[in-house]
Structure 1
Amino acid sequence: MANIKDYSSIVGQAVIDELFLLADKLKGKVIQNVNSTAVGGGVAEILSRMINLLRQLGVDARWDVIKGDEKFFNITKKMHNALHGVDVEVSLKELMYFQEVNRQNAKEMDLCGDILFIHDPQPIALVEQKETLGKKWVWRCHIDFTTPKEEVMAFLKLYIEKYDSAVFSAPAFARKLSIPQVLISPSIDPLSDKNRELPQEVINSVLDRFGIDRTRPIVTQISRFDYLKDPIGVIEVYKRVKKHIDCQLVLAGGGATDDPEGAKVLEDVKNAAADDPDIHVLLLPPASDIEINALQRASSVILQKSLKEGFGLTVAEGLWKAKPVIASAVGGIPLQIAHKYSGILTHSIDGTVHYLKQLLYEPGYAQRLALNGKEHIKNNFLITRHIRDYLLLFLSLYHEDDIVGLNEMGL
């Protein structure tokens, strides 16, 4: 694990000094994070890095994971899809089971934090304990709330409004709520195995292991196998571009323990790829960070063709590695890309095809976009900024008038 002091070479010593100053004001407070999975997805990835760094700053940060059976996670996946605007129905019986699992977790968990930091819908109903336990409660939403199904949103709102504040990743996700809302975008860790510099021989060995040709352009999308990441659409883009440019496609990612749809999506992706030897569909196990890093660094262009997206950390990862990125203009992605300056934003398969051909034909232009993108990520989306925002949020819970100030600052 990286040492918090190592980040000074990237962001400057003044940033690190400020983090220690803010953390010192939280002495004696326990920050307890709760989410639904320890492995897979951006939330678990961020927490696995952030908890260690917070502890190095002197903050008593902890992390617990709720338990649930297959039925529970099938329900929460339906809720997840409904919140993204997918036309699925979550029955009253399913919502009651969701509540029951949350209540069982509340009985079994030691909710010891002075601040209970609850992530996403799966454990949201733990806040029922607030009346008994007191303490400060924050709900952190990592998903795209742009066009949620109103019935599911209305159900969750009953819980959201019990919290002291709600945190969203992008302005478009803000809802009409009776509690303060705070904007805090996610981040990447530049010193993690997924993002640190790699020797060329490591990159080459990963490509050789997966049978990827280093001499031809490589187009890559890294993401969970999820319909909302539109991997089938990515294959369609590749096939249309392939008619003009001899390139390869890498679709790589893993699953998450709270996502039961992943196996079916992977099967559909393999069927769509058929027997094209230049489409590399890679189901990566947990702890494949070096492989993902190498694949991104070897890529000519990185795609993120999401239909809905809470933030899309893979966009920041690609830009941090000074790679040109083409991504859908959805959710939190436009915060990371200024179109035609630090990357490309698209709205359709046709647009993605057009810009992918342009970037592959014009590597000089692609590189200018990539360098601008890296600078933007350095200034806005590294983990040190993320920690600072969270420390300010935690402190504001004890100085509630300051939440208004945080909102005015865009935090």
Structure 2
Amino acid sequence: MPISLNAYRDIAPPGRVELLYRLSQQTIGKRMLHITGNRTGGEIGEILHTLIPLLTEVGLDVRWERIKGTGSFHEAVQTFRNGLQGEDVKVPDAVLEGYREAIHQTGRTLELSADSVISHDPDTLGLIDYAPTDSRWIWRCYLDASRPQRKTWAFLRPYIIKYDAAVFSLPQFAQPLPVPQFLVYPSIDPLSEKNRELEPEEITETLDKLQIARDKPILLQVSRFTRSKDLRGVIEAYRLVKSHFDCRLVLAGTASADDLDEQAVLNDVRDAAAKDEDIHIVPLPPESSLDINALQRAATIVIQKSRREGFGLSVTEAMWKGKPVIGSETGGITLQIMYGQTGYTSNSVEGTAFYARHLLNNPAIALEMGGRARDRVRQNFLITRHLEDYLSLLIFMGRL
């Protein structure tokens, strides 16, 4: 059952819920359509599963549709995502044709009429060619598109410039475009299964299930098992810490059985861990919100040593749970972590280990940092702020 907006009154900053009800008076009855490549998992799915019921509660008529594509469509989308983030990719003509065909079939059969249509990431960009003339179309990009591969950008840009506006997660993620651009930070739902408060018994039960003892401090990184998350670097940092401070390392996240690259990274991480009984490699199924919640609450320090990152909601989640975070200087991590106040940033193995040792040796400082981290999330990165941004965007677009 969807959570009511009123449930956030004691969680969001004072007055925000009242502000949302007032803003919504200008959008009541407006039709809004969200279109994505799929409806399960990931940052977009988690946000929309919470945001859409709240938009509906404040009076909008909201739909969420997705493109039903073949394997070549999904291969094209993944290639576009990698290319937008600067990777050197190649898209065979057959794969491009699969993307165009999925867009064509969806454009012909899907009801696209709405006052505002939000097209999420590159998956659905091509649908702009089927847009009704009486709708405002907005492209929502969550990726770091600041340095895209030229061929990928050359293919996607002609679609993007047909939109009425574009929304990015960080200013540095954007590109020069001849359309209005807006900034909307991603967010977390503090009442979701992944972020709600847990009873001590729930945390203990989950860690017992995962066979992780709590007899010593826990360093934790939650991420997919991909090379961009520098999991070997995390292990190297842990070993430097371990030589001075007895602790455990938990590397938890999803690893698709069908993704050969992720399986290769998972095997590589297991090899790097060798026979160290204090390193716990925890592959999780897609729906593991409670497990992640419990791990983050049990952790002493959370690490996010990514080489490349989008906004980094795993950092947001840990900060909400009152944990100091040591993260790389990339993507949204640098926006979220206030250096020396809510955590530390470092790109090196040695720097990561140094800050982890410092926090382990000074638990009072870690506790204070965690408190400031939670308050920073409360003020800036909760779903209520996200709802405010969307309502404001709809009001503005309605005046163009």
How high is the TM-score relative to the length of structure 2?
0.93
Instruction: Confirm or deny: 8 A CA contact 1:8 1:16 kept in the other structure.
Output: yes
Query: What are the equivalent positions in structure 2 for 1:56-71 lying under 5 Å apart?
Result: 56-71=57-72
Query: 1:40, 1:254 within 8 Å by CA — same for their partners in 2?
Result: no
Structure 2 Cα separation of the partners of residues 354 and 12 of structure 1: 34
**Preserved contact between residue 254 and residue 285 of structure 1 (Cα < 8 Å):** yes
In structure 2, the partner of 1:39 is 40
Cα deviation for residue 261 of structure 1 reads 4.6
Q: What CA distance in whole angstroms lies between the structure 2 residues aligned with 1:50 and 1:258?
A: 30
Q: Structure 1 residues 233 and 67, CA, compared in 2 at 3 Å: closer, same or farther?
A: farther
Change in Cα spacing, 1:395 to 1:253, as seen in structure 2 (3 Å) is same
Deviation digits for residues 208-230 of structure 1, max 9, x if unmatched? Answer: 11111111111111122232222
Change in CA separation of 1:259 and 1:16 when aligned onto 2, cut-off 3 Å: farther
Amino acid at match of 1:334: T
Q: Percent identity?
A: 43
**Which runs of 5 or more residues in structure 2 are unaligned?**
none
1:179-218 deviations in Å (ceiling 9; x for gaps): 0000110111111111111111111111111111111111
1:355 and 1:217 mapped to 2: Cα distance?
14
Is residue 237–residue 353 contact of structure 1 (8 Å, CA) maintained in 2? yes
How far off its partner does 1:285 sit? Answer: 2.2
> How big is the shift at 1:358?
1.8
Tell me how far apart the structure 2 counterparts of residues 200 and 147 of structure 1 sit (CA, whole Å).
45
Tell me what 1:77 maps to.
Answer: 78
Q: Which runs of 5+ in 1 are unaligned?
A: 401-411
Q: Which secondary structure does the structure 2 equivalent of 1:329 belong to?
A: coil
Shift of residue 298, structure 1, vs aligned partner: 0.3
Q: Which residue of 2 aligns with 1:171?
A: 171
| 1:160 match | 160
- CA positional deviation for 1:364: 1.8
Q: Which residue of 2 aligns with 1:240?
A: 240
Matched, 1:140 2:114: no
Measured in 2, the distance between the counterparts of 1:86 and 1:236 equals: 26
* Shift in alpha-carbon separation, 1:305–1:2, aligned structure 2, 3 A: same
TM-score relative to the length of structure 1: 0.91
Give the equivalent residue in structure 1 for 2:88.
87
Secondary structure of the residue aligned to 2:399 is coil
Aligned-partner Cα distance in 2 for 1:77–1:233: 25
In the alignment, the residues of structure 2 paired with residue 236 and residue 61 of structure 1 have an alpha-carbon distance, to the nearest angstrom, of: 47
Task: Check 1:328–1:151 CA distance in 2 against 1; reply closer, same or farther (3 A cut).
Answer: same
For 1:11 and 1:97, the matched residues in 2 are separated by: 44
* Structure 1 residue 260: Cα displacement: 7.4
What per-residue deviation string (whole Å, max 9, x for no partner) do you get for residues 38-75 of structure 1?
A: 22211111111111111122222221222223332223
Deviation, structure 1 residue 369: 1.7
The Cα shift of 1:233 comes to: 2.5
- Matched with 1:103 is 104
Partner Cα separation in structure 2 for residue 38 and residue 236 of structure 1 = 37
- Alignment-derived partner of residue 7 in structure 1: 8
Residue 115, structure 1, aligned to residue 110, structure 2: no
1:338 aligns with 338
Partner of 1:376: 376
Structure 1 vs Structure 2 CA RMSD: 2.1
The total of aligned residue pairs comes to 399
Q: 1:96 to 1:369 in 2, by over 3 A?
A: same
